[in-house]
């Protein structure tokens, strides 16, 4: 496996030519929040607006045809990228919407005798929709706990996922800890009791090869903007028979088959779930983004991040007073690393790093129950992508040591 030519790849990203805070080189370590965009993705959006813009699936003219074609080719690209069928790909505005779509569509299928299982490490976007579904239906919400190492405690799996469990919603890779969850055991148990497995893949689709058939899951959600794609486009993949069975969530134009003043019937999936004129330019941009990632190779991206993640953890571990929050071993973990540093509050550390041109995320990372459980009100998070290299890690380490001098020893 040849290694990535990071310097060459970075040339595809116009943002890396700008400087930060009085001429500092941009050290972007916040791809877990959103990734930067290559020129080909920016061009795809610009081209759509400049050449093909019209309302897809509406109108009898050439532009409408071209817009439809552009959007539907993206659907095929997404399907191929995930190893699913083209009719199993629903475009939404975000992964958050994908998960809410499921939670709302399942409302009429869940009763007070049912249970929904999540984990303690969920992003709010894969916790609150289920918490509120439980609230609406009277169902019980249960969750896998997280141990101090930042791994899921599976010891109670048979007591958590039981005959009354209808939904198991779980993150593939924690956006805070970098932990990659052991899906095999969870999927096996969920299917044993007849529950569906919904995977929040926001932090895995951009970073590793994913095949929904191999994972044997039932639904998957991810967002375009974390996978070098545009903002405003998310994906929901679902098994065709499940999408067929689920009622729609948003009602309106183009999701119908017939309409009278008092009733309506629905178009087949995925159209049933795509009411309104879609975010076409963004969908087209997402297609370009996944093509870009495929060209590099997801396996190469994954290996690069694991190797760089190991280097990041090794260097962070050498700093006195720094505590890594999450797994320290690279086994089943990606290149997202959260940490605390003595008494220096993450906001202050983040501010100091920003002054050096280093972009990190600070706070509870939209996973408040998790940070509370781990006893840290907030952390600093560095999240790596394929366009990062050792020089970015070195800059971060130097920045952290500088912050120690600036704020006084922790």
The least CB distance from residue 323 to another protein, in Å, is 16
Between 174 and 282, CB nearer to another protein:
174
Long-range contacts of 144-149 (CB under 8 A, 24+ apart): 144/117, 144/118, 144/119, 144/120, 144/170, 145/120, 145/373, 146/119, 146/120, 146/121, 146/177, 146/370, 146/373, 146/374, 148/374, 149/326, 149/327, 149/328
Q: Around Cβ 242, how many Cβ atoms within 10 Å?
A: 15
Between 57 and 345, CB nearer to another protein:
345
Dihedral of alpha carbons 29, 30, 35, 36, sign = negative
The least CB distance from residue 180 to another protein, in Å, is 25
The least CB distance from residue 344 to another protein, in Å, is 8
φ, ψ for residue 78, nearest 5 deg: -65, -45
Binding to another protein in span 8-67, by CB under 8 A: 21-22
Between 107 and 351, CB nearer to another protein:
351
The least CB distance from residue 310 to another protein, in Å, is 29
Query: According to CB under 8 A, which one of 93, 315, 323, 345 is a site residue for another protein?
Result: 345
The reply to whether 366 belongs to the active site is: yes
Does 348 participate in binding another protein (rule CB under 8 A)? yes
Between 271 and 364, CB nearer to another protein:
364
User: What is 273-295 written as a DSSP string?
Assistant: G--SS--HHHHHHHHHHHHHHHH
Q: Give how far Cα 239 sits from Cα of 78, 89, 90, 243, 397, Å.
A: 14, 9, 11, 6, 44
Residue with tokens 């959600």: 221
From 133, 134, 280, 366, active-site residue: 366
Between 32 and 346, CB nearer to another protein:
346
The least CB distance from residue 133 to another protein, in Å, is 22
Residue 90 Rama label (left phi>0; alpha psi -120 to 50; beta): beta
Beta bridge partners of 146: 152
Contacting range for another protein; rule: CB under 8 A; set: 23-31, 143-151, 289-297, 345-353: 345-353
Between 186 and 349, CB nearer to another protein:
349
Q: What share of the chain is helix, strand, coil (3-state, %, to 5)?
A: 45, 20, 40
Enumerate residues 6+ apart whose C-beta is below 8 A from 126: 99, 118, 169, 170, 171, 198, 200, 221
Residue with tokens 């409302």: 107
Q: Residues for the chain: how many in total?
A: 410
Q: Around Cβ 259, how many Cβ atoms within 10 Å?
A: 10
The least CB distance from residue 363 to another protein, in Å, is 4
With CB under 8 A as the rule, give the number of residues binding another protein.
19
Query: According to CB under 8 A, which one of 347, 390, 391, 409 is a site residue for another protein?
Result: 347
Enumerate residues 6+ apart whose C-beta is below 8 A from 241: none
Between 248 and 346, CB nearer to another protein:
346
Contacting range for another protein; rule: CB under 8 A; set: 42-50, 165-173, 351-359, 381-389: 351-359
Distance separating the N- and C-terminal Cα atoms of the chain: 42
Between 16 and 407, CB nearer to another protein:
407
Dihedral of alpha carbons 120, 331, 208, 241, sign = negative
The least CB distance from residue 370 to another protein, in Å, is 11
Contacting range for another protein; rule: CB under 8 A; set: 38-46, 63-71, 175-183, 340-348: 340-348
Contact code string over 294-333 relative to another protein, x by CB under 8 A: ----------------------------------------
The Cα 14–Cα 320 span in angstroms is 37
The least CB distance from residue 138 to another protein, in Å, is 28
Contacting range for another protein; rule: CB under 8 A; set: 28-36, 114-122, 278-286, 339-347: 339-347
Contact code string over 352-371 relative to another protein, x by CB under 8 A: x--x------xxx---x--x
Query: According to CB under 8 A, which one of 138, 276, 321, 377 is a site residue for another protein?
Result: 377
Token pair of 252, please?
Answer: 């309106």
Binding site for another protein (CB under 8 A): 21-22, 345-348, 351-352, 355, 362-364, 368, 371, 377-378, 406-408
Q: Which residues are catalytic?
A: 366
């Amino acid at each position: 496996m040849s290694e990535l030519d990071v310097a060459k790849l970075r040339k595809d990203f116009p943002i890396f030519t700008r400087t930060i805070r009085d001429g500092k080189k941009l050290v972007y370590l916040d791809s877990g929040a959103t990734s930067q965009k290559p020129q080909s993705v920016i061009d795809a959006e610009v081209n759509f607006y400049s050449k093909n813009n019209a309302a897809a699936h509406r109108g009898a003219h050439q532009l409408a045809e071209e817009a439809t074609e552009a959007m539907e080719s993206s659907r095929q690209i997404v399907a191929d990228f995930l190893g699913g069928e083209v009719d199993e790909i629903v475009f939404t505005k975000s992964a958050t919407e994908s998960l809410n779509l499921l939670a709302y569509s399942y409302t009429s299928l869940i009763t007070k005798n049912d249970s929904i299982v999540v984990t303690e490490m969920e992003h709010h976007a894969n916790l609150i929709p289920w918490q509120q579904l439980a609230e609406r239906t009277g169902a019980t919400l249960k969750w896998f706990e997280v141990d101090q190492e930042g791994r899921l405690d599976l010891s109670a799996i048979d007591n958590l996922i039981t005959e009354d469990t209808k939904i198991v919603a779980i993150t593939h890779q924690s956006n805070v800890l970098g932990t990659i969850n052991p899906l095999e055991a969870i999927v096996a148990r969920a299917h044993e009791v007849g529950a569906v497995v919904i995977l929040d893949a926001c932090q895995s689709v951009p970073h590793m090869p994913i095949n929904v058939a191999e994972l044997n899951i039932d639904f998957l959600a991810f967002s375009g903007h974390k996978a070098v794609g545009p903002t405003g486009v998310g994906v929901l993949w679902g098994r065709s028979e499940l999408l067929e069975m689920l009622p729609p969530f948003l009602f309106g134009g183009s999701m119908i088959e017939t309409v009278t003043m008092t009733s309506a019937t629905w178009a087949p999936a995925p159209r049933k779930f795509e009411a309104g004129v879609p975010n076409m330019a963004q969908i087209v941009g997402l297609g370009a983004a996944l093509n870009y990632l495929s060209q590099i190779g997801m396996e190469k991206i994954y290996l690069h991040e694991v190797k760089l993640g190991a280097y990041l953890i090794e260097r962070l571990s050498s700093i006195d007073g720094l505590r890594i929050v999450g797994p320290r071993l690279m086994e089943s973990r990606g290149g997202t690393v959260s940490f605390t540093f003595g008494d220096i509050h993450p906001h202050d550390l983040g501010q100091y790093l920003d002054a050096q041109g280093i972009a990190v995320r600070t706070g509870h990372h939209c996973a408040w129950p998790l940070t509370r459980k781990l006893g840290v009100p907030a952390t600093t998070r560095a999240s790596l992508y394929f366009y990062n290299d050792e020089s970015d890690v070195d800059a971060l380490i130097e920045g952290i040591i500088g912050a120690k001098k600036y704020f006084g020893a922790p």
